[in-house]
Amino acid sequence: MLRIKSDYCCDLSEELEELFKALSNVNRLLLIYKMTSGEVEKVTVTQLARMMGLTQPAASQHLKILKTAKILSAEKRGNYIYYTFNKTQMINHKEKIDFLFGCVLSKCNKIEKGKKAPKHH
């Protein structure tokens, strides 16, 4: 991951690492899609397991990873924990990804310009 010697970039690296880990599984991507499309507004572990054909421990693990990455928020009501999509945090994640890609593309452009510079003998 992007390791630059500054507190901001180190924090950013760790956050992006968690985010990309959370987005690296098709079941988690499908759940995010279902929650953002309006198909599902909130979900419990049991509901997720049933809906996606997963065991409860697997569903719980997916929800934990999405919560750790702040993609989902959790609220306990009675005996159940309900998970909802955290739109505000996803906007923050998008801004950080845009920053990362901006840095990478800027670096690539500098490298390409360096390669195209005329060679002096």
| Residue 93 in tokens | 């994640």
Specify the CATH class of 7-114 in words. Answer: mainly alpha
pLDDT value for 2: 46
In this prediction the pTM is 0.76
Task: Kindly list the domain boundaries of the chain, sorted by start residue.
Answer: 7-114
Convert the chain into a string of H (helix), E (strand) and C (coil).
CCCCCCHHHHHHHHHHHHHHHHCCCHHHHHHHHHHHCCCCCEECHHHHHHHHCCCHHHHHHHHHHHHHCCCEEEEEECCEEEEEECHHHHHHHHHHHHHHHHHHHHHHHHHHHHHHCCCCC
- The string of pLDDT tens digits covering residues 10-58 is 577 888 899 999 999 999 999 999 998 888 899 999 999 999 999 999 9
